Amino acid sequence: MKIVVDDKIPYIRDALARITPCVVYKRGTEISAADVRDADALIVRTRTRCDERLLAGSSVRFIATATIGFDHIDTDYLARAGIAWANCPGCNAGSVAQYVRSALLLLARDCGLRLHGGTIGVVGCGHVGSRVCAVARELGLRVLVCDPPLGSPGFVGMDAIEREADVITFHVPLTDGGTYATRHLADAAFFGRLARRPFILNTSRGPVVDNAALKAALAEGRVRQAVIDTWENEPLIDRELLGRVYIGTPHIAGYSADGKVNADNMAIDALCRFFGLPNPGRIVPPPLPPGFTYTDDPLQLYNPLCDSRRLKADPALFEELRGNYPVRREEAFVR
């Protein structure tokens, strides 16, 4: 059995070696049709476009993406080709919530955000958005939730968020068609309707926020500040926008070691179920440094300004910073 794997997926190698000796690791952007022609399975991230160009004529029967999002997978083609696939819903929800919590604390410290008594609009309330809602409430924020596909009682429309929110944070998948398309959900018209000069956070998918429109809104004062982790045209991001935002990071909000291990385990579980293989055992995160003591300060565990400074110092390193990310642990796993 041959498996082709993105070489930036951490912690997974020992487990896969217990499944098969034939595992090929390659940079996600460099996985080619020749690499997968005789492969049985792929384990990828968002940087590998899984479509007819890559897969036609191959022996691939199963693809796992170690990510929540799957807009890099041509699901229509896979259905026609009889190729099964799986993603990892919720795998990094805790990690993204950690990122947002730290960002909110920093915005309160440095940019004048009022937490107690302020209002946050959470756009998208799936695995990640629901965790962000809990974090926001813990910090004392009033929470407005907009998620029309879920249609839950108590949710509001975008008009309420545009009118009332001091912070707006996006946690939606990237979709292009249908009633609830999210590409450029935050466009020039959206920024033109804002009533309160809010802070904008995007940790979902880059094109959910029109980057040119956001840059203009920052310049015009329609938006007070922004925290951007996901960008249009990654890794060739808008450097002028990067220079304007308070925090700009290289698509790593979900990159805690705990979130990555969750994704590894979910991908391997799905692979083993599909092929009827025994599971090689659970992967665990790396241990904390010797003598580490958590002091109940969330910024002690993770301060996104550190990632932001590295990216702003050299935006050309976007992929390197993302692919060689340092170990970061979540609060729930260090107490």
From the list 205, 222, 328, 329, the catalytic residue is 205
From the list 52, 164, 234, 319, the catalytic residue is 234
Q: Which residues of 191-222 are buried (b: 16+ CB within 10 A; e: fewer)?
A: beebebebbbbbbbbbbbbbbebbbbbbeeeb
Q: Is there a catalytic annotation at residue 45?
A: no
From the list 45, 101, 222, 251, the catalytic residue is 251
Q: Is there a catalytic annotation at residue 205?
A: yes
> What sign results for the dihedral spanned by CA atoms 275, 277, 281, 286?
negative
Q: Is there a catalytic annotation at residue 184?
A: no
Q: Which positions are catalytic?
A: 205, 234, 251
